[in-house]
Amino acid sequence: MNQLPEIIRTIERVGADVVAKASTFQAAILSDVAGRRGTMHGRVAPVHQSMKVAGPAFTVEVRPGDNLMIHAAIALAQPGDVLVIDGKGDQTAALMGTLMLSACKKRGLAGVIVDASIRDKLEILELDFPVFSAGFNPAGPTKFVPGRINHPISAGGATVNPGDLVVGDADGVVVIERQKAPAMMALADKKVADEAARIEAIARGDTAAKWLPAALRAAGVLKEGETL
């Protein structure tokens, strides 16, 4: 049986047109139309609430506290890629800081998502580059332990395959499977239009949720024929 190499250099990425369209939506909209699947744990959050990212996932798996394979991934990733790093949620040491993230920006990456700690928060805020992490720690990492690049990973509790669509904003990060992403765009358009219509109705004074009575009856909270 042939074993896959630890580093996979060639991957199939979600289309640039899909990425461009996805970047116009909130992560929450995409999470809803994707059936609320693929959303990372809330611990993975933007360094600043204004940061947004969209692009194909370039996945990295590391051992807690070691960033050797992240350096390799920065060298291999293509412009527009989003580094998605499975750092096991570890917060005992930072996996990245200003130096590595500056290199990511210079190489044209779309952003970095780290399920682990990073450091140099104030400098990252000045870098003007989208970074999401599980926290901060001043301690530096080691660079000794092998890992894997462009294999399936779990980051923030979500499965991420190389080339999947990744979108992040102030609410967090959502991952949509590459093959399913194109079909999600039309659904997201409809979701946005439906929500805009509902907001207009609320502004006119129609604040009642028409689905609520039936849902309460189905849950056994209201009896048949009973209303709020």
Compute the distance between CA of residue 59 and CA of residue 159 in angstroms, rounded to an integer.
11
Distance between CA 22 and CA 28 in Å, rounded? 12
Convert the pLDDT of each residue in 59-98 to its tens digit: 999 999 999 999 999 999 999 999 999 999 999 999 999 9
- 98 annotated binding-site participant: yes
pLDDT over threshold 90, residue 125: yes
pLDDT at 140 over 60: yes
| 104 contacts: CB under 8 Å, gap ≥ 6 | 74, 77, 83, 111, 112, 129
Q: What is the pLDDT, as a whole number, of residue 226?
A: 86
* pLDDT for the residue 69: 98
123-137, 164-178, 202-216: which range is least confident on average? 202-216
Span 141-162, mean pLDDT?
97
pLDDT band at 2 (very low <50, low <70, confident <90, very high): low
Q: Quick one: tokens of 103?
A: 């290199």
Q: With helix as H, strand as E and coil as C, how does the chain read?
A: CCCCCCECCCCCCCCHHHHHHHCCCCHHHHHHHCCCCCECCCCCEECCCCCCEEEEEEEEECCCCECHHHHHHHHHCCCCCEEEEECCCCCCCECCCHHHHHHHHHCCCCEEEEEEEECCHHHHHHHCCCEEEEEECCCCCECCCCCEECCCEEECCEEECCCCEEEEECCEEEEECCCCHHHHHHHHHHHHHHHHHHHHHHHCCCCCCCCHHHHHHHCCCCCCCCCC
The yes-or-no verdict on residue 1 having pLDDT over 60 is no
**Quick one: average pLDDT of 127-143?**
97
- Amino acid identity at 218: A
Average pLDDT taken over every residue of the chain = 96
Q: What is the mean pLDDT of residues 184-197?
A: 97
194 labelled as ligand-binding? no
d(CA 126, CA 117): 18
Alpha-carbon distances, residue 24 vs 17, 54, 166 (angstroms): 12, 9, 13
Stated pTM of the model: 0.93
Q: Say what the pLDDT of residue 7 is.
A: 95
Over residues 106-114, mean pLDDT? 98
**Would you state the pLDDT for residue 227?**
83
Q: Answer yes or no: is 97 a known binding residue.
A: yes
pLDDT at 224 over 90: no
Residue 169 labelled as part of a binding site: no
Is 115 annotated in some ligand binding site?
no
Q: What does the CA dihedral 22, 85, 109, 173 come to, rounded to 10 degrees?
A: 20
Comparing C-alpha atoms, which of 43, 39, 27, 60 is closest to residue 116? 43
Q: Mean pLDDT across the stretch 148-157?
A: 98
The residue among 30, 84, 40 whose CA lies nearest residue 61 is: 84
C-alpha–C-alpha distance, residues 30 and 185, integer Å? 8
Look at residue 225 in the predicted model and tell me its pLDDT. Answer: 83
- Tens digit of each residue's pLDDT (9 = 90 or more) over 36-46: 999 999 999 99
Percent with pLDDT over 70 in the chain: 99
Domains along the sequence of the chain with CATH: 16-178 (3.50.30.40)
Residue 3, pLDDT above cutoff 80: no
Is 96 part of any known ligand binding site? Answer: no
